[in-house]
Amino acid sequence: MSSHSHDDSSVGDADKKGLPGQTFNSEKTSVAEGVATTTNPEYGRYLDLHGQFEGVGKKKLLRKLDLRLLPTLSVLYLLCSLDKSNAGNAKIFGFREAANMTPTQFNLGLMVFFFSYGLWEPISNVLLRRLGPKIWFPVIVTAWGTITVLTCLVRSFGSFIAVRLALGIAEAGLYPGSYFILSMWYTPRELATRMAIFYGANTAAGAFSGVIAYGIGHLDGAHGFSAWEWLFIIEGVITIGIGLMTFMFLPHFPHQYDEKRTTKWLTPDELEYAKLRVKYVAGPDAPTYKFQWSDVFAAAKDRKTWLMMMMFWWGGSIPTYSLSYTLPTMVKNLGYSAIQAQAMTTPPYIFATIVCVLNGWLSDRFQRRYVSIMTCYCVGLAGIITLWVSVHYPSVSGVSYFAIFVAAAGYSAQAPIVGAWASNNIPNPSKRAASIGLLMLFGSVGGGGIGSNIYLEEQAPTYPLGFGFSVGATVLGAMIPATVHWWLLKRDNERKEGMDREQVLAEHTPEELSKMEEYSPLYRYVL
């Protein structure tokens, strides 16, 4: 990779900020860039466009990207989260009894979803990389919408298992795919805020699910359908409709546009700059945009993938999924009716959405991913411990309800920063897509599979296994790996900073440095 980033500032300013991939001597950087411009005309074109767009032009471009990408992906993720977790809402309306399932069978049905979901995530990201979002996303969205509608026909444990496995395959591509799409349009310094806004749709889904379930609860018996059947039908039909509209609203990857494939939502110069600014964010030695299976294998062998996977798995998926599936029942146990409990789940998720976006903005503002993530773990941990203690005392139900706010906010806010941190430090698009898919594979299978089974119905309302497991998973499985990951990246940066830049440039050609990617002596990791 190159020695310098032009993303947010001039050469001198960037050198002072410590951006990934930078050098610390702007005079030497200018000489190197002058050589690179003569040998790489496309990079020269990028420098020209960067000068033209700096300031107002760049803000206008980002506004266009935000208005096109964020609402579309956020709505899709909102629907994905609703359709994934609506079984918990349907349970309160008698779905488990109507489908002739025991509590254990219902939990197993929730768990198998994550096996097909997780196993298909890296495959879906590879297909997204090959087909592009404009083709792949409408297919998977309409597919899971159809499956959601068909869930109203479930009348046995076996049919519930079949539906959940199919739903897992269909929904698998949305979450990791959206992270990858955002990383193809935004530079590393812009990612966390956008990922937080996108991920906010997941926490907002918790709020919407309660409101929707509250409204649908009053349809019980209408036209011969029970409330839980209406829940699946209405949410599924809405998903199908929006899935078909996705083809019109979601753009291709920026590098897929050429002379034959054009677009009207960006001017030609805006499109070219959008493409080149991400490609050359770390300097003239850009990563390849050609798909290679070797990049997939490289992601599987990279320690960064596995340490980030631990964080996503133990500190994100387990507490988040366990809360989303158990929260309606947990609130009901505080003394509210079934319909009231659905509505009472809304405020904690609204609060979590606000905290999630705010944390993403702060993480981008100060470029401190580790600090942002650890703060989230501490907040989530404080909430879950408070809840664990307070549920033993029915007289302090208000404290328990407040603790739900804190736990939901902490555990929700960490997820987009984990995704941004992973994307920041893997410049190769194919390797980045594979790495995100792999870390989410294990995070989803392990986190969802465990999270949906640790809050046992027979242990309500104190849930000793659920609370104890969540606390242990956060500390041992997430906070420790996050600290190890940060320390190893910091050590690598310090080792590279001790190298002589002129000697590195004398010993390696630009092509060799480009092939080294983040392992180049000139590349700096985001901490």
DSSP 119-159: HHHHHHHHHHHHH-HHHHHHHHHHHHHHHHHHGGG--SHHH
Q: Model-level pTM? A: 0.78
87 belongs to a structural domain = yes
113 belongs to a structural domain = yes
Q: What is the dihedral sign for C-alpha 233, 176, 289, 361?
A: positive
How many other C-beta atoms are found inside a 10 Å radius of the C-beta of residue 398? Answer: 10
What 3-state DSSP class applies to 413? Answer: helix
* Residue 216 in this model has a pLDDT that exceeds 90: no
518 belongs to a structural domain = no
Percent of the chain's residues with pLDDT above 70: 89
339 pLDDT tier (thresholds 50, 70, 90): low
- Domain count across the chain: 1
514 belongs to a structural domain = no
| 143-171 pLDDT tens trace | 999 999 999 999 999 999 999 999 999 99
342 pLDDT tier (thresholds 50, 70, 90): low
Q: What is the CATH number of the domain that holds 481?
A: 1.20.1250.20
Average pLDDT of the chain is: 84
285 pLDDT tier (thresholds 50, 70, 90): low
Q: Residues with Cβ < 8 Å from 203, sequence gap 6 or more?
A: 349, 352, 353, 356, 408, 412
221 belongs to a structural domain = yes
Q: What is the mean pLDDT of residues 248-266?
A: 88
Domain of 422, in residue numbers: 56-283+295-494
* Residue 19 in this model has a pLDDT that exceeds 80: no
Q: Residues 164, 99: contact at Cβ < 8 Å?
A: no
Q: Which of the 8 DSSP states describes residue 168?
A: H
Q: Residues with Cβ < 8 Å from 45, sequence gap 6 or more?
A: 272, 276
Among the ranges 30-44, 55-69, 387-401, which has the highest mean pLDDT value? 55-69
pLDDT of residue 39: 61
Distance between start and end Cα atoms, the chain: 18
84: left (phi over 0), alpha (psi -120 to 50) or beta: alpha
Distance CA 64, CA 527 (A): 29
Q: Residues 281, 14: contact at Cβ < 8 Å?
A: no
513 belongs to a structural domain = no
For residues 269-293, b (16+ Cβ closer than 10 Å) or e, as one string? Answer: ebbbbbbbbbbbbbbbbbbebeeee
| 390-403 pLDDT tens trace | 988 888 888 988 99
pLDDT of residue 221: 79
* Residue 255 in this model has a pLDDT that exceeds 60: yes
pLDDT of residue 346: 79
Q: Which of 115-124, 180-189, 444-453 has the lowest mean pLDDT?
A: 444-453
Q: Give me Rg for the CA atoms of the chain.
A: 24
Instruction: Work out the angle at residue 499's Cα, subtended by the Cα atoms of residues 493 and 505, and round it to the nearest 5 degrees.
Output: 110
Q: What is the mean pLDDT of residues 296-324?
A: 88
Kindly report the backbone phi and psi dihedral angles of residue 339, in degrees, each rounded to the nearest multiple of 5, phi listed first: -70, -40
119 belongs to a structural domain = yes
**What would the two tokens of residue 181 be?**
């799409």
Could you please report the per-residue DSSP string of 362-386? HHHHHT-HHHHHHHHHHHHHHHHHH
More confident residue, 446 or 241: 241
* Residue 32 in this model has a pLDDT that exceeds 50: no
28 belongs to a structural domain = no
CA atoms within 13 A on the CB side of 275: 20
